[in-house]
């Protein structure tokens, strides 16, 4: 029974392997490899390293060879088992091909009656790629050769053009240098694919240290995790020579280590060019049974073991990456859809342009309303931890900026910082500047401030009694104290305007392609936002003009603040009088009893006989109290009447469906008309979408097949399905 189980599992494994390989080939044929890395084996090496001979040996197909330039394009060789020999040849256009060329190349399909027809068909393919009768030496298009036969391994390999060494003393603009760069870029593009197994072909005819492919492989795959080294022409070095020993050590993974190791293959030489495949394989087996090569394990030499080795490596690569491959295709598919969504529908007529702009305005309003309301549930808003995403949360930005503005006004809005310092500086008119910030207040002692106010009082006397002051002086002092409000507020308004423009740019970029978003800003949003900042500055001018009127307030906070200021000042004056009476220092807070109450009372009852000084002190208190009340009102007015009412509160109304209805046809066309580049991009994305959707279908079908196999094993082996699945996975 055990033998029967093994036979069944081998058959099941073979079927699953065939389907996996077919599905990956279907993805490649559908063009998915243009957008997503696919598991594959790439054959690469220096020019004339024997790559085509390797391909011929593995597939048993006589690929054309010459002693000059060999492979002039990438060739995908698909080998599958089947009862009859069939050969199908097609061309996969490169992703940058123009549409007419793409259609022409895709139409090239040949089904051969025999393998001997392959060279002629490949010449036809070269002609279609423009490689005959032109100066073009290499092509980025891909030749696909599907070969089915009873003796073929389950394998797909990509044969790449040989790396060409740069020619010295050569015109940098020559075609040869262009060919070197084209081949280098082409091979590099395949090698950097993290799902590619690099079959690095090294010819024993030349010192391996001088062969470009090894340097490239070690740079791209420094740990050698996905590189298999392949030594060709091992019969070229004389028997027993140092060169032969060097390549023998290389084959044993001693010199350059690869996780997949090395393999040695004998190519046909010129005398054996007409030998049959069976004769070629027999000559190779005889060679590896002699000389130093007979010491290598049989699984490391010869084409028979190479076929099985490559098949297993490819299957392992596919099994490893198939789950992430599906996710990559899905990600690319979603990105493609997002780009198409931003481009919108085709708009080659006036009606389509109008409908497109109408839909755009609705999306614009939805995002703006959500942002202004602080509803950040849309994917557009992203994560607040990222600064660029945080700036999309315009309500949050406004709140934080307004709080910063309020704090800045409280800390730096006043021109003079009045300090209650009884000790006069040497220069009684000395002022203390803090130049660390242009808006930082200048420090002035109360005594100095009173002297300054006294000069104003003397020049502004009216009919008021001595010891009192003209109420209009409060406004004059307040105007001087609040002179910086305009600059601070205007800076804040400009910042909020810039934040709103940045937010609108991000909204437009999210709902439209770059070209449309730029046009929408240029022809519609920019003029409106410019009008808004003008209105905001005019509104600020009105608020500042109100500041210059005579002081008006009915807020009881003014009286409370005035009383608090006077009480605080009186307490400090009483404290200094007591300390002076007792003859103690200013920092003394406790004294013993034995004080004469009448003497203390006389000391505290002293009043200033200078009526102007008294009036100045009262005036200063009144100005400071009024300043605190007016400051609160001004901060709120800027936030409400300017920022909210004119800049932020109705951002959604800048571009509404009703606006679209009022636009002239010329404006609509200027915003929505597509450039040639956008039309080409849409067509490219639509083609990409079709390809990726095919890829998703193929991947889902593959996953469904795997599920079916698991279900079948569970049905056939109900008592031990997991064990049978493990056996299936372990089969070679």
Instruction: Residue 536: name the closest of 490, 482, 484, 483 by CA.
Output: 490
Q: What does DSSP assign to residue 199?
A: E
- List the structure tokens of 399: 């709140």
3-class SS at 455?
A: helix
Q: What are the residue boundaries of the structural domains of the chain, listed by start?
A: 39-164+175-333, 351-423+439-672
- List the structure tokens of 631: 């400051």
The C-alpha atoms of residue 618 and residue 447 are separated, in whole angstroms, by: 13
Instruction: Residue 266: name the closest of 205, 198, 199, 200 by CA.
Output: 205
Q: Which residues, in sequence order, are CB contacts of 236 under 8 Å at separation 6+?
A: 203, 204, 205
Q: What is the DSSP code string of 21-53?
A: HHHHHHHHHHTGGGTS---EEEEEEBTTSSHHH
Q: What is the DSSP code string of 372-438?
A: HHT---SGGG--TTSHHHHTT-HHHHHHHHHHHHHHHHHHHS-SEEEE---SPPSSTT--B--TTST
The C-alpha atoms of residue 245 and residue 492 are separated, in whole angstroms, by: 79
The alpha carbons of the chain give a radius of gyration, in whole angstroms, of: 43
User: What stretches of 160-283 adopt beta strand conformation (E)?
Assistant: 196-203, 227-232, 262-265
The C-alpha atoms of residue 687 and residue 679 are separated, in whole angstroms, by: 12
Architecture per CATH, domain 39-164+175-333, reads as 3-Layer(aba) Sandwich (3.40)
SS3 sequence, 461-479? CCCCCCCCCCCHHHHHHHH
Residue 269 CB neighbours (<10 A): 13
Give me the pLDDT at residue 262, please: 94
User: What stretches of 511-655 adopt beta strand conformation (E)?
Assistant: none
Q: Which residues, in sequence order, are CB contacts of 432 under 8 Å at separation 6+?
A: 442, 443, 444
Taking the alpha carbons at both ends of the chain, their separation in whole angstroms is 21
Instruction: Residue 167: name the closest of 151, 149, 157, 181 by CA.
Output: 181
Q: Block means of pLDDT (10 residues each) for the chain, length 732 residues? A: 38 54 69 72 86 80 56 80 83 80 87 79 85 72 84 79 60 57 83 88 90 91 92 90 92 91 86 75 88 91 88 81 78 83 76 89 95 92 88 94 94 82 49 54 79 73 63 78 91 96 94 88 93 95 83 68 66 66 65 59 54 72 82 92 94 93 89 74 77 74 52 49 53 45
The single residue listed with the structure tokens 């934080």 is 400
The C-alpha atoms of residue 624 and residue 631 are separated, in whole angstroms, by: 10
Give me the pLDDT at residue 9, please: 36
Bridge pairing between strands 142-149 and 155-159: unpaired
The single residue listed with the structure tokens 């008309």 is 673
Bridge pairing between strands 262-265 and 227-232: parallel
3-class SS at 432?
A: strand
Cα angle for residues 417, 421, 422 (degrees, 5° grid): 145
Q: Are 492 and 638 in contact (CB under 8 A)?
A: yes
User: What stretches of 129-288 adopt beta strand conformation (E)?
Assistant: 142-149, 155-159, 196-203, 227-232, 262-265
């Amino acid at each position: 029974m055990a033998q029967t189980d093994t036979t069944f599992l081998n058959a099941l494994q073979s079927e699953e392997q065939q389907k996996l390989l077919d599905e990956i080939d279907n993805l490649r044929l559908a063009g998915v490899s243009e957008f997503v890395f696919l598991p594959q084996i790439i054959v690469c090496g220096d020019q004339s390293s024997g790559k085509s001979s390797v391909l011929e040996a593995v597939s048993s197909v006589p690929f054309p060879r010459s002693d000059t330039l060999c492979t002039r394009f990438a060739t995908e060789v698909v080998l599958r088992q089947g009862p009859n020999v069939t050969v199908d040849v097609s061309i996969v256009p490169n992703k940058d091909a123009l549409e007419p060329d793409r259609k022409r190349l895709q139409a090239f399909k040949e089904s051969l009656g025999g393998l001997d027809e392959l060279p002629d068909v490949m010449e036809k393919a070269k002609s279609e790629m423009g490689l005959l009768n032109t100066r073009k030496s290499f092509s980025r298009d891909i030749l696909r050769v599907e070969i089915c036969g009873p003796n073929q391994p389950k394998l797909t390999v990509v044969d790449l053009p040989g790396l060409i060494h740069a020619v010295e003393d050569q015109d940098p603009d020559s075609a040869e240098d262009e060919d070197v760069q084209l081949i280098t870029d082409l091979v590099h593009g395949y090698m950097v694919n993290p799902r590619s197994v690099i079959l690095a072909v090294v010819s024993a005819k030349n010192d391996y240290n001088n062969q470009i492919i090894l340097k490239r492989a070690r740079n791209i795959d420094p740990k050698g995790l996905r590189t298999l080294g392949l030594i060709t022409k091992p019969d070229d070095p004389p028997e027993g020579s140092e060169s032969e020993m060097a390549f023998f050590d290389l084959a044993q993974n001693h010199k350059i280590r690869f996780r997949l190791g090395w393999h040695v293959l004998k190519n046909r030489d010129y005398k054996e060019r007409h030998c049959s495949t069976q004769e070629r394989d027999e000559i190779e087996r005889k060679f590896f049974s002699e000389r130093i090569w007979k010491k290598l394990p049989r699984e490391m030499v010869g084409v028979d073991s190479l076929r099985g080795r490559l098949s297993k490596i490819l299957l392992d690569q596919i099994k490893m990456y198939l789950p992430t491959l599906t996710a990559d295709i899905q990600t690319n598919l979603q990105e493609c859809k997002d780009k198409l969504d931003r481009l919108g529908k085709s708009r080659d007529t006036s009606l389509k342009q109008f409908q497109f702009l109408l839909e755009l305005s609705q999306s614009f309003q939805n995002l703006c309303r959500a942002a202004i309301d602080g509803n950040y549930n849309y994917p557009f808003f992203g994560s607040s931890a990222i600064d660029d995403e945080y700036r999309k949360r315009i309500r949050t930005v406004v709140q934080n900026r307004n709080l910063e503005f309020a704090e800045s006004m409280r800390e730096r809005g006043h021109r003079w910082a009045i300090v209650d310092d009884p000790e006069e500086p040497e220069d009684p008119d000395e002022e203390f500047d803090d130049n660390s910030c242009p808006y930082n207040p200048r420090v002035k002692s109360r005594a100095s401030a009173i002297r300054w106010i006294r000069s104003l009082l003397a020049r502004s006397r009216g009919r008021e009694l001595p010891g009192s002051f003209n109420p209009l002086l409060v406004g004059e002092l307040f105007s001087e104290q609040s002179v910086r409000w305009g600059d601070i507020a205007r800076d804040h308004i400009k910042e909020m305007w810039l934040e709103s423009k940045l937010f609108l740019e991000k909204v437009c970029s999210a709902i439209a392609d770059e070209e449309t978003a730029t046009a929408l800003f240029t022809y519609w949003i920019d003029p409106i936002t410019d009008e808004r900042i003008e209105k905001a500055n005019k509104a600020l001018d009105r608020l500042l003009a109100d500041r210059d009127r005579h002081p008006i307030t009915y807020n009881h906070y003014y009286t409370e603040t005035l009383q608090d200021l006077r009480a605080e000042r009186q307490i400090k004056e009483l404290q200094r009088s007591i300390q002076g009476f007792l003859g103690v220092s200013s920092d003394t807070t406790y004294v013993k009893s034995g004080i004469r109450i009448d003497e203390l009372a006389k000391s505290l009852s002293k009043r200033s006989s200078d009526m102007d000084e008294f009036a100045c002190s009262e005036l200063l208190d009144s100005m400071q109290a009024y300043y605190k009340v007016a400051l609160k009102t001004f901060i709120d007015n800027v936030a409400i009447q300017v920022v909210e009412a004119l800049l932020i509160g109705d951002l959604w109304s800048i571009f509404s469906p009703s606006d679209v209805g009022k636009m002239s046809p010329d404006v609509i066309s200027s915003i929505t008309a597509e450039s040639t580049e956008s039309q080409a991009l849409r067509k490219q994305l639509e083609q990409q979408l079709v390809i990726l959707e095919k890829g998703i279908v193929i991947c889902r079908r593959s996953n469904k097949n795997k599920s079916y196999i698991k279900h079948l094993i569970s049905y056939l082996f109900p008592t031990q399905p997991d064990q049978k699945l493990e056996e299936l996975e372990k089969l070679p």
